[in-house]
């Protein structure tokens, strides 16, 4: 009897203890709500971190893309400017030497002693005669002639030419080019890219992701205090790692851009010098032959190839001013009439007061030479530098003018370019 009673008692106690364990492990409604609040809190912290670094990435990508496009536009425009100068010069030289040959042939063509001399002169002035002096100049300035100076510059500035300087820069900034700097940066902040920093933070913050910190907390494997401490460490370290990865990527891209600018600007200048040097050597050969055979030289007009140290890029088009831009006290000034006309404003010049009124739509700007105050729609604006005369040209502060007329203005210090967007 006692044995049976004891067995029954133990069985009841066992059931009671089992229920106690189960009830002890379950959360009361208030405790459940508190746990859910912490899960929501961590999810919110992760979401804010994701938003911050995603927005920073988008801003960085826009900057990187803009800077790439600016440089490409500058190089393309300067190459075209240089090509136009030398192409026009080749035509000029070909025409004057052809006219000269015709004149000499008319004068000496019937004399046997001059036949070989005329033939030699004709060969040297022919831009299509292989090994002639003018041919040498022609091939040097020909961008399609393999290994010529112009071909080399054209190749290095071509982002589609594999292994070129511009191709390397383009690859570095391309978020879709596997293993590029921008590609790695893109994946770092991508929460859906397996093993990325952001992917890891998303999973740790996800209470439904097996074995994550928040999953362990949700299933009772971590106390609230331990889970909070661990998540604080994870998110804080994660933010530091994301910022470090971002800074490393942007520093690398900036270094690549600086190297690209230095390399291609140096090559541009070297190409221009090669054009001028080859021209000089070709002319010396031709004119020496003319002097030797016919007693005198021709007068030939010189050419100048130069690039503005301070540039203005408006809607991806490089603007050439008769008076190049200047920097005064950190402010870029450009010729008044040209900038107003390019930006679509009409101007009225007051000679007596040395002032100008420019109008575009509802915007009206009034400037006076030497006055640090300007009027914008009747409101007085303090200028860092006034409009002023420079080499007899009226120069105005380009940022104030452009922004007053509704344009966006940025300064690209690496290329020394004022970048204006009217669209």
Per-residue pLDDT tens for 223-263?
999 999 999 999 999 999 999 999 999 999 999 999 999 99
Range of the domain at 401: 311-421
Q: Residue 132 belongs to what H/E stretch?
A: none
Does residue 30 register a pLDDT over 90?
Answer: no
Is 5 inside any structural domain? no
Start-end of H helices in 109-223:
112-125, 133-140, 149-156, 165-173, 181-188, 197-204, 213-218
Asked whether the predicted pLDDT for residue 17 surpasses 90, the reply is no
Number of other residues whose CB lies within 10 A of the CB of residue 410: 15
Are 54 and 242 within 8 A, CB to CB?
no
pLDDT confidence band for 33 (50 / 70 / 90): low
User: What pLDDT is stored for residue 23 in this prediction?
Assistant: 34
* Structure confidence at residue 7 (pLDDT): 41
Tokens of 401: 């003018």
Looking at the structure, do residues 201 and 75 belong to the same domain, yes or no? yes
Return d(Cα 38, Cα 45) in angstroms, integer: 10
Express each pLDDT in 308-361 by its tens digit: 999 999 999 999 999 999 999 999 999 999 999 999 999 999 999 999 999 999
- Domain match, 359 and 281 both: no
Q: Are residues 317 and 289 in the same domain?
A: no
Residues 201 and 89 in one domain: yes
CATH code where residue 325 lies:
3.30.457.10
Q: Verify that 92 and 172 share a domain, yes or no.
A: yes
SS3 label, residue 307: coil
**Beta-carbon neighbour count of residue 164 at 10 Å?**
18
The mean per-residue pLDDT over the stretch 81-107 comes to 98
Considering the domain architecture, whether residues 261 and 286 belong to the same structural domain is answered as yes
63 domain-assigned: yes
Looking at the 3D structure of the chain, how many domains does it have? 2
Q: Length of the chain in residues, anyone? A: 423
Tell me the per-residue pLDDT of 165-223, one tens digit each, with 9 for 90 and over. 999 999 999 999 999 999 999 999 999 999 999 999 999 999 999 999 999 999 999 99
Q: What contacts 24+ positions apart, CB below 8 Å, involve 130-139?
A: 133/281, 133/282, 133/283, 133/285, 133/286, 134/93, 134/94, 134/97, 134/282, 134/286, 136/278, 136/281, 136/282, 137/90, 137/93, 137/278, 137/279, 137/282, 138/90
Q: Express the helix, strand and coil content of the chain in percent, nearest 5 each.
A: 60, 15, 25
- d(Cα 119, Cα 289) in Å, to the nearest integer? 11
User: What pLDDT does 423 receive?
Assistant: 82
The pair of three-digit structure tokens given for residue 98, joined into one six-digit string? 């052809």
How much is the mean pLDDT over the chain?
92
Residue 29 within any structural domain of the chain: no
Share of the chain above pLDDT 70, in %: 92
d(CA 366, CA 353) in angstroms, rounded, equals 12
Is residue 2 over pLDDT 60?
A: no
For residue 3, pLDDT over 50 is answered with no
- pLDDT for residue 161 is more than 60: yes
Q: Taking 60 as the threshold, does the pLDDT of residue 87 lie above it?
A: yes
Report pLDDT for 29: 56
The reply to whether 21 falls in a domain is no
pLDDT interval class at 34 (50, 70, 90): low
Q: What integer pLDDT is reported at residue 35 of this predicted model?
A: 78
Mean pLDDT, residues 397-418: 96
State which of 294, 327, 345 marks the end of a domain: 294
- Both 285 and 396 in one domain: the answer is no
Same domain, 266 and 120: yes
Residue 208: the pLDDT is 96
- Assess whether 251 and 347 both reside in one domain: no
Same domain, 57 and 174: yes
Task: Give how far Cα 300 sits from Cα of 93, 273, 286, 289, 336, Å.
Answer: 8, 18, 11, 15, 35
Residue 16: per-residue pLDDT: 29
pLDDT value at 28 more than 90: no
Is the pTM of the predicted complex or chain greater than 0.85?
A: yes
* pLDDT of res. 15: 35
Say yes or no: 271 and 338 in one domain.
no
- What distance in Å separates the CA atoms of residue 414 and residue 109, rounded to the nearest whole number? 59
In a domain, 406, yes or no: yes
Cα dihedral across residues 174, 176, 177, 183: positive or negative: positive
351-406 confidence digits (pLDDT tens): 999 999 999 999 999 999 999 999 999 999 999 999 999 998 999 999 999 999 99
Whether 13 has a pLDDT exceeding 80, the answer reads no
Beta-sheet pairing, 326-328 with 317-319: unpaired
Task: Report the alpha-carbon distance of residue 383 to residue 379 in Å, rounded.
Answer: 13
Q: How far is CA 66 from CA 60, 61, 410, in A?
A: 10, 8, 11
User: Do 74 and 222 sit in the same domain of this protein?
Assistant: yes
């Amino acid at each position: 009897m006692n044995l049976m009673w004891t067995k029954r008692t133990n069985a009841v106690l066992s059931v009671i203890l089992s229920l106690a364990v189960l009830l002890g492990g379950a959360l009361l409604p208030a405790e459940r709500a508190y746990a859910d609040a912490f899960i929501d809190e961590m999810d919110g912290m992760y979401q804010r971190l994701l938003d911050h670094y995603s927005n920073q990435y988008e801003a960085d990508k826009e900057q990187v893309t803009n800077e790439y496009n600016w440089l490409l536009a500058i190089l393309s425009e300067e190459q075209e400017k240089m090509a136009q100068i030398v192409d026009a010069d080749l035509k000029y030289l070909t025409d004057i030497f052809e006219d000269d040959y015709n004149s000499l042939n008319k004068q000496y063509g019937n004399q046997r002693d001059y036949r070989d001399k005329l033939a030699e002169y004709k060969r040297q002035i022919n831009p299509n005669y292989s090994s002639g002096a003018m041919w040498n100049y022609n091939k040097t300035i020909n961008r399609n002639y393999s290994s010529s100076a112009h071909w080399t510059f054209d190749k290095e500035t071509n982002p589609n030419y594999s292994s070129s300087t511009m191709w390397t820069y383009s690859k570095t900034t391309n978020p879709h080019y596997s293993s590029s700097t921008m590609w790695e940066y893109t994946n770092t902040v991508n929460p859906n890219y397996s093993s990325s920093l952001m992917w890891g933070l998303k999973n740790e913050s996800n209470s439904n992701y097996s074995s994550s910190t928040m999953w362990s907390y949700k299933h009772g494997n971590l106390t609230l205090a331990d889970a909070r401490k661990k998540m604080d460490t994870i998110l804080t370290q994660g933010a530091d790692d994301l910022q470090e990865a971002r800074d490393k990527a942007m520093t690398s891209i900036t270094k690549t851009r600086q190297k690209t600018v230095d390399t291609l600007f140096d090559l541009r200048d070297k190409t221009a010098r090669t054009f001028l040097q080859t021209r000089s050597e070709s002319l010396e050969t031709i004119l020496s032959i003319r002097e030797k055979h016919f007693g005198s030289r021709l007068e030939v007009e010189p050419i100048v190839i130069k690039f503005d140290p301070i540039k203005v890029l408006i809607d991806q088009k490089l603007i050439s001013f008769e008076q190049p831009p200047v920097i005064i006290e950190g402010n870029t000034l450009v010729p008044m009439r040209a900038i107003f006309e390019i930006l679509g404003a009409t101007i009225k010049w007051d000679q007596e007061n040395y002032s100008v009124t420019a109008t575009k739509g509802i915007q009206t700007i009034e400037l006076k030479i030497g006055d640090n105050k300007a009027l914008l729609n009747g409101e007085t604006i303090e200028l860092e530098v006034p409009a002023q005369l420079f080499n007899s040209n009226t120069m105005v502060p380009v940022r104030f003018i452009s922004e007053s007329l509704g344009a966006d203005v940025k300064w690209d210090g690496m290329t020394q370019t004022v970048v204006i967007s009217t669209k």
